[in-house]
Amino acid sequence: MKRRDFMALVGAGVLLQPTVARPQQSSRKRIGVLFALPEANPQAKARLATFREELQKLGWSDITIDARYVAANDAETHLRYAKELVSLQPDLILAQNTDATAAPLQHTRTIPIVFTIVADPIGSGYVESFRRPGGNITGFVPSEPTMGGKWLELLKEIAPNVERVLVPFNGAERVVEYFLQSLRATAAIQNVDARANYVRDLTELEAVIAAHALTPQGGVVFFPDAYFTGHRAEVTSLLGRYRLPTIYPYRFFAESGGLFSYGSDLLDNFRRAALYADRILKGASVSELPVQAPEKFELVINLNTAKSLGLSVPQSLLGRADDVIER
């Protein structure tokens, strides 16, 4: 999908404006939530809190939220918890990512589902189109497909000598391809050799990183991936040990010691999901609520990590940064 199409969808964001909230909704509602993160994960806690707080602002103070948490890529547990949530007959299911969205769809085609971080809902077969999703599902994407090229451009800006780029991935190949096409197009223009490599776990990740680091002028691009998000401290530490300039899709990687990140504000997607939940709970048809593109993007640079890698961050990049980490 081209950038202009996404910007048109962002323009449709007026649909997200809540109606005037009543002091408190009269009937108790139930929402099921399925996360592809452990319950103790700080991001899981922050995302659920953001969703709940926004609902309360909209007047939903008397509401039941049943949350289930699953480790990344545990398809069996996703299906089991999704079945549990559907059996509770909630008024709505909030699903985090691609895996957490696929599971409830196998158990219900009537309960409304709102996803918050699904990269390619059309390619995944969840919706018919962004403007009119159809069925019982809609939601929010974290990035547009041209972000693959943007990540490589930013990596070259901070590390101009990079000639080879590795893209490790752990999730579905179709999601990787969603971003890989634009990255390869940019790589061809900039004479960069780019390759994607599937890894099953951190051990395999270290093996491919170690091999990549044997030849100079290497860099790494991480696409959105639930497994790497759940292991971001280990991932950023690993890339630091092998001294490879790396760009990540979300700010919490930079906060965990990664060189820098560029991506959407995921908490904002959960806030906006609450606005959709408000509309659905009031009777709106989920099939007519368009899938929405991100509204907020953040460039976060970790200067301490840049210094440890011997990189001098260009002032032009620092001037565009939303946040600079110096600790």
Q: Amino acid identity of 285? A: S
**Same structural domain for residues 85 and 95?**
yes
pLDDT digits (tens, 9 = 90+) for 245-263: 999 999 999 999 999 999 9
Which pLDDT does position 295 carry in this prediction?
A: 87
**Same structural domain for residues 292 and 303?**
no
**Same structural domain for residues 204 and 304?**
yes
Which of the four pLDDT bands, split at 50, 70 and 90, describes residue 9? very low
**Same structural domain for residues 25 and 161?**
no
Question: Where in the sequence is the domain holding 221, given as residue range(s)?
Answer: 147-263+298-325
Query: How far is the C-alpha of 105 from the C-alpha of 85, rounded, in Å?
Result: 12
- What share of the chain in percent tops pLDDT 90? 78
Q: Is the pLDDT of residue 128 over 60?
A: yes
What CATH number did the domain enclosing 181 receive?
A: 3.40.50.2300
Q: What is the dihedral of CA 242, 244, 250, 252, to 10 degrees?
A: 40
Which pLDDT does position 280 carry in this prediction?
A: 97
pLDDT digits (tens, 9 = 90+) for 65-102: 999 999 767 889 999 999 999 999 999 999 999 889 99
Which pLDDT does position 8 carry in this prediction?
A: 43
Which of the four pLDDT bands, split at 50, 70 and 90, describes residue 227? confident
Which of the four pLDDT bands, split at 50, 70 and 90, describes residue 202? very high
**Same structural domain for residues 131 and 193?**
no
**Same structural domain for residues 111 and 100?**
yes
For residue 159, give the 3-state DSSP assignment: coil
Q: Is the pLDDT of residue 168 over 80?
A: yes
- Burial class for 83, CB neighbours closer than 10 Å (0-12, 13-18, 19+): middle
Which pLDDT does position 42 carry in this prediction?
A: 87
pLDDT digits (tens, 9 = 90+) for 133-146: 999 999 999 988 89
**Same structural domain for residues 237 and 306?**
yes
Name the residue among 105, 82, 128, 139 with its Cα closest to residue 280: 139
Which of the four pLDDT bands, split at 50, 70 and 90, describes residue 172? confident
Which pLDDT does position 26 carry in this prediction?
A: 46
Query: How far is the C-alpha of 4 from the C-alpha of 313, rounded, in Å?
Result: 30
Which pLDDT does position 37 carry in this prediction?
A: 87
Strand residue runs (E) in the chain: 29-35, 63-69, 92-97, 113-117, 137-139, 164-169, 193-198, 218-221, 246-248, 260-264, 297-302, 323-325
**Same structural domain for residues 20 and 118?**
yes
**Same structural domain for residues 124 and 157?**
no
Q: Is the pLDDT of residue 12 over 90?
A: no
Which of the four pLDDT bands, split at 50, 70 and 90, describes residue 13? very low
Q: Amino acid identity of 172? A: A
Which pLDDT does position 230 carry in this prediction?
A: 84
**Same structural domain for residues 206 and 306?**
yes
**Same structural domain for residues 108 and 8?**
yes
- What share of the chain in percent tops pLDDT 70? 91
Pairing relation of β-strands 29-35 and 63-69? parallel
Query: How far is the C-alpha of 319 from the C-alpha of 255, rounded, in Å?
Result: 19
Length of the chain measured in residues? 327
**Same structural domain for residues 7 and 105?**
yes
pLDDT digits (tens, 9 = 90+) for 288-300: 899 999 988 999 9
Which pLDDT does position 282 carry in this prediction?
A: 96
Which pLDDT does position 171 carry in this prediction?
A: 78
Q: What total number of domains does the chain contain?
A: 2
Name the residue among 99, 124, 103, 97 with its Cα closest to residue 43: 97
Q: What are phi and psi of 317, to 5 degrees?
A: -80, -40
User: Per-residue pLDDT averaged across 303-309, rounded?
Assistant: 96
Of 173-177, 223-227, 262-266, 302-306, least confident by mean pLDDT is 173-177
Rounded to two decimals, what is the model's pTM? Answer: 0.83
